[in-house]
Amino acid sequence: MSLLDKVFVVAENASVIDEVCAAGRTCGQKVEMVLIGSQEDAKRAISVGADKVYYLGEATVEKRVEDFLPTIAALSDQEKPAAIIFRTTVRGRLMAARLAAVLGTNVLTDASSLQVDGTALISKKRVYGGAALREEKAVGPVSVVCISPGIAAPLEADSSREGEIIEVAFIEPTRKVKCIETKAKVGEQVNLPAAKRVICVGRGMEAQDDLNMIYELASLLGAEVGCTRPIAEGEHWMSKERYVGVSGVMLKPELYIGVGISGQIQHMVGTDQASTIVVINNDKKAPIFQYADYGIVDDLYTAVPALMQKFKNQ
């Protein structure tokens, strides 16, 4: 595959350095990082694949991450990279969109793959609630991209790699937002995408208290518990962090068990990377059975306690 001459990868904080560098290496001859972080982070960036680091300094309460946008825009105007790659985060999305607006282009968002075509990038993203994959190509002199996690395997850190670190002066933005405080996120921190085993529940559950038997089964199996969107956003029986599917969590477990879930595409797109899918549902015609490796057609209130008993007896 041919490579673009020069790509910018933007790290708005240290946690995305490895990923954006790896993504940059798949499509650029020269990978140049625009870094908001520490000097240590700049060295790290070079060790994992950056040829050059434009070092913007660290973000503070007065100098928020987004305040660096005019600096990044001026830098890209000066250096004219063929592509600018951000990581898909809340801040990454905002900055990519704002930069694209300045550059007069669209952002290839949520890119799950990247490919070079001539002087532009082609990306794939899920559309229509995840029901389809769209392949799209940037038109114009610069491709702006937001990459999804896992798009390229990070390079092994190698401290013998060489690269240049260039300090870049901060350009004061004309508009500023004042940060009064930051608060801890309410609700629990769960990491469903990393879970190896997940039990998900849907509308088949009749009451919130009935979730207890699901939690009990989950603890027997060493599984995390997730749900469909109506359970989180309609019933508020679980936190938003636990709903699986479109605009929620995309799972990659070894084992997924769907209980009382009909199998709407909006949920199932979050499960299709599961190695094994087990289904418990009383409706034989429920679409979820089309995705099942193993299934039981019966009332979940009969099947779940019976299954649980087996695991208790083992």
Partner 1 sequence: MNIIVCYKLVPEEQDLVVNSDRSISWDKAEWKIGSYDLNAVEAAMELVESAGGKVTVLSVGNSRLENAKLKKAILSRGPEELVTVVDDDLVDLDGHNTAKLLAAAVNKIGAYDVILCGEGSADIYAQQVGSQLGELLGITVLNAVSKITPQGDRLVVERTLEDEVEVLEIDLPAVLSVTTDINVPRIPTPKDILAGGKKPATKWGLADVGAEIAATVEYLSTLAPEQRERKHIILEGASEENISKLYEFIRQELA
Map the footprint of partner 1 across residues 221-260, applying CB under 8 A. 221-222, 233, 240, 246-247, 254-255, 257
CB closer to partner 1, 163 vs 193: 193
Q: Which of 3, 14, 59, 97 binds partner 1 (CB under 8 A)?
A: 97
Q: Does 94 bind partner 1 (CB under 8 A)?
A: yes
The reply to whether 171 sits near partner 1 by the rule CB under 8 A is: no
Q: Which amino acid is at 180?
A: I
Longest distance between any two alpha carbons in the chain, whole Å: 69
Out of 14, 63, 129, 235, the only residue in the binding site for partner 1 (CB under 8 A) is 129
- Applying CB under 8 A, does 206 fall inside the site for partner 1? no
Instruction: Quote the DSSP letter at residue 259.
Output: E
Q: What is the DSSP letter of 188?
A: -
185 binds partner 1 (CB under 8 A): yes
Of 32-40, 41-49, 127-135, 147-155: span binding partner 1 (CB under 8 A): 127-135
Distances (CA, A) of 51 to 24, 45, 71, 118: 10, 9, 20, 22
Angle at 130 between CA 124 and CA 133, to 5 degrees: 30
Minimum separation from the CB atom of position 18 to partner 1 (A): 16
CA–CA gap between residue 4 and residue 251 (Å, rounded) = 32
* Segment interacting with partner 1 (CB under 8 A) among 18-26, 31-39, 77-85, 278-286: 278-286
Closest separation between CB of residue 84 and partner 1, Å? Answer: 14
| 194 binds partner 1 per the rule CB under 8 A | no
215 binds partner 1 (CB under 8 A): no
Shortest Å distance, C-beta 26 to partner 1 = 19
- Segment interacting with partner 1, rule: CB under 8 A, options 3-11, 24-32, 164-172, 184-192: 184-192
Distance CA 222, CA 26 (A): 37
Structure tokens at 204: 């088949």
Nearer to partner 1, 6 or 91 (CB): 91
Q: Which residue carries 């960036």 as its tokens?
A: 45
Report yes or no: 246 and 283 within 8 Å, Cβ to Cβ. no
Asked if 82 touches partner 1 (CB under 8 A), the answer is no
Please choose, out of 36-44, 46-54, 122-130, 159-167, the segment that lies near partner 1 by the rule CB under 8 A: 122-130
Distance CA 50, CA 25 (A): 8
3-state secondary structure at position 113: strand
Q: How far apart are CA 303 and CA 294, in angstroms?
A: 13
Query: Using CB under 8 A, which residues numbered 21 to 60 contact partner 1?
Result: none
| Stretch binding partner 1 (CB under 8 A), from 40-48, 51-59, 205-213, 264-272 | 264-272
Helix (H) or strand (E) holding 186: none
Question: Could you report how far apart the first and last alpha carbons of the chain are, in Å?
Answer: 53
Cβ closest to partner 1, residue 79 vs residue 233: 233
Tokens representing residue 35 in the block: 């870094």
